[in-house]
Structure 1
Amino acid sequence: MLSEVYYIIRSRTDGKYLTARVDDDKSGYLLLFKEDFDALSYLNTHAGDLASRLTVESIAGSQVGSLLKRWGFAGVGMVNDPLLPNVEFLQHG
């Protein structure tokens, strides 16, 4: 995971990341995509009306841990299929 590149979706207006909330008490899981076109497919399928306010960014696997700590995310949600969506949740610990 450390040597790979992942793609995340971020708001152009306030800089917040796209997350999935499993529990209201937690800050959510940062959604990670394996390819940039997967992230774009997810946006077009599930947030077409918001797509102009969001952007896809790349992040090195080695930076994911520090990003989770800085923003207080519960973990990551690895999006395996952006159209369904099929997400695998992994807790940070």
Structure 2
Amino acid sequence: MYSSVYYLLRSKQDGRHLAARPEGPESDRTYLLIFSADHEALSYLSAHAPEVRDRFAVESVPAYQLKGMLSRWGFAGIGLVSDPSGPKVEFMQRDRLF
């Protein structure tokens, strides 16, 4: 995971990244959504928010920068989207990465 590149969705309007809050006991925590490929990020938007697809840009980030980004912006961890159409998301806490 450390040498991988991941893709994020960033708002063109305010620069914030697309994030999620899982249901359950951790519903007060926000997780940064990341994708393994740029086309998966675009597929996610097309499936779940086609009306705002043009308001987001896909950006790439190397895995070694993720932990710093999470700390800087106050995310609890990442939500790795493995099936954008479902969606299927695996949530991982920041302190358990790398």
TM range (shorter): over 0.9
TM-score normalised according to structure 1 size: 0.94
TM-score normalised according to structure 2 size: 0.90
Deviation at 1:24, TM superposition (A): 4.7
State the partner residue of 2:89: 87
SS at match of 2:78: strand
Pick aligned residue for 1:25 from 25, 28, 40: 28
Moved over 2 A (4+): 22-26
- Amino acid corresponding to residue 46 of structure 1 in structure 2: H
Q: Which structure has the highest helix share of the two?
A: 2
Q: Does 1:50 align with 2:42?
A: no
Report how many aligned residue pairs link the two structures.
92
In structure 1, list runs of 5 or more residues that go unmatched. Answer: none
Q: Structure 1 residues 70-79 or 17-26, which shifts more?
A: 17-26
Deviation digits for residues 27-75 of structure 1 (CA, Å, limit 9, x no counterpart): x100010000100100111110001111110000011000000000010
- Sequence identity of aligned pairs in percent? 50
Deviation at 1:25, TM superposition (A): 2.9
- CA-based RMSD of the aligned residues comes to 0.9
In structure 2, list runs of 5 or more residues that go unmatched. Answer: none
Pick aligned residue for 1:65 from 64, 67, 73: 67
